[in-house]
A and B are shown apart, each in its own frame.
Chain A
C-alpha cells in the first residue's frame, strides 16, 4: 500500500524540527510567536476537514472558534464550572455550532459561493450578538481570573502554554489523520470530487457534510478554548472577527487543501513571512497582512495545489493542471 512519499516525509521532518525549535531557541518572543502559529494551525486543521477533505469552503470558521472560546468562558465565569469541564463543553459547543450551520446550509443545498457567504454571515451575526449582550461581556469581552496552575487549565509561563498547544495540535492532527484514513474520509473526498457520483455509489452527501462540519467545529472550538485558556480573555472582534475566518483558510490553501500536513505548513510559512515583514518595517500595522494576501495570490497562481503539491511533485511527475480536470469533468 501507499505509505508516505518523500514529499510528506520532508514536510514531517521540517515540522518536527520547527516544533522543537522553541526549546532550542528559548527567546520569549519566539515562543510567543510559536504559541500563536501552532494555535492557528489547529484552526487550519479544523478548516481543512470541511474545506480540504469535503470541499466545502467556509469563510466563517470564526463562528466555530469563537463559540468554543465563548462557551468555555461563560461557563467558567457565569456558572463557576470546572475549567476542564468548561473546556470540554467549549469543544462540544463548537461541534454543535458546526453541525447546526452545516445542517442548515446543506439542507438547503448551498454550495460554493453560497456556502462561503452563509458561513460568513453566521460568524458576523454571532459577532454582533456577542458584542451586544451583557452575558457575553458585551463590548468589553470576558476575562478569566488569573489562577495559574494545571488545576485551572492555566499556564504559568509561555513554555507551558506552548506545550499545551503543541499537544493540542498533535491531537488535532491525529483526529484529522484518522478521519482521512477512514470510510468517513473516503466519503468526504468522494463528495468533494463529485457529489452526484458520490450519491450514485451510496454516499449520503448531506450527512457526510454535516459530520465534517461537526468534526471541524469540535477542532475549531478546541482552538478557541485554547486561546481563552492562554490569553484568559475573549471579546467579539477577536473570537468572531473576520481575521480568524481568513486565517483558518489561508494555512490550508497555502499549504495544500486536503493534505494532512499542508494546513500546518501553510500556517507556519505564512506566520514566518508575516513576522519577517513585521520586523522589517518596524511593526507597522497591516503590512504583514498585505503580505498574507500576496502569498495567497502567488500560491494560487503558481502552486494551485499548495506547498504540499510542490512536495507531491517529488513523488510523481507534475500532475495535469487541476483546471484541466475540472473542465473535463463537465
Chain B
C-alpha cells in the first residue's frame, strides 16, 4: 500500500488508468469530466505517454482508436453532450474490436442540461447509445478508491475482450474528495495485450477467435499487414456480405462477453441475510442509500442493499436470487427511471420493484430514501 492521500474521483480515475498501463489520452474538455483530461495532460508525458486535445469528442474518440490500433492502451473522458458525439465510434470499436475505455461523468441532461449537477441519466445510453446490436461493459464506482480500481478493471476488460468499456461515473463521485490509500504498483493486476499466435506464413487470421471467442488482431506496424474495418468482416478482417458470416459475427461479439458475465459482474450485498426489503443502488447515489438502509435497520426494518458496480452486463442473477425472498425492492435513481426497469425484469415478478426518481439537480438525502423504504413497506409506493 502507498501513503494516504486526499484525492478527487476524477483524479483517481486518471491515476487508475495510468496504473493499468494507459499511455494515450485524447479528448475534448467538458464539465464535470475535465479534471481527468487535465490530470492526463500532466501525467502522461512524464511516463513517456501522449495526451492530445482534439477538436471535438468525435476526434477524441477517433484519435484514441488509432492509437489503440498502434499498440497503446487508451482512454478518453467526457460527459453527456460529448458522450452523445462519441457514440458512432463506440460502435466502430465494438465492431472492429478495438480496446478503448470511455469515461462518462454523468451530468443532468438532456442537451446542455445542468452542466455542473449530478445525474444518472445516461445508463441506457451507455448500453444502447450506438446503433446496432452490440454487447457493452459499463462500471459505475461509488467511492474515490473504487474509482481507481474501476479504471484499472475497465482497461483490463477493454484489452481482454477487445471491446469498448464505459466507466460510467457521475458528478457526485467525480468531484468527491476522499482520503485514499492506493495499492502499490506490484499489487495491481494488469492484463497485457495478447500477441498473434501465428505468423503471416502460418496462415494468421487477425479476426479468428481464440477459445474465449476474442480475436488477436496484430498491432499496426508489426509486420502483419492486417485490414481493419467497421464493415462486417470475416476472420480475415475483410468485409463480407454473407448472412452466415454476419450472424456468426454478431453472435460472437455477444458471446465473448456472455462467457465471462459472472466474472465481470461486480456487486456488494449489505444486510441482505434476513432482509425483507432491499434498495438496489449504484454510483454516487449508493452512498446515500447505504446510510438510509442503516437508519432503517436502526428503526427495526429488515432492510438490505444490493450495490451494483457492474451496470452492464446487468446483474440478473443476484437480483433474481434475492427477489425470491424479498417483499419489495426500491430503486433510487437520479433520473426519470432507467435501471429500475432492468431490476424489474430481472426480479421476474417475484416481488414488487418501485422507483424513487429525482431529477431536479439535487442529490438524495438519506431521509428521502428512508421514507421510500418505509413507504415500500407500508405499501404506499
Q: Do these two chains interact? A: no
Which A residues form the contact surface with B (CB < 8 A)? Answer: none
Which B residues form the contact surface with A (CB < 8 A)? Answer: none
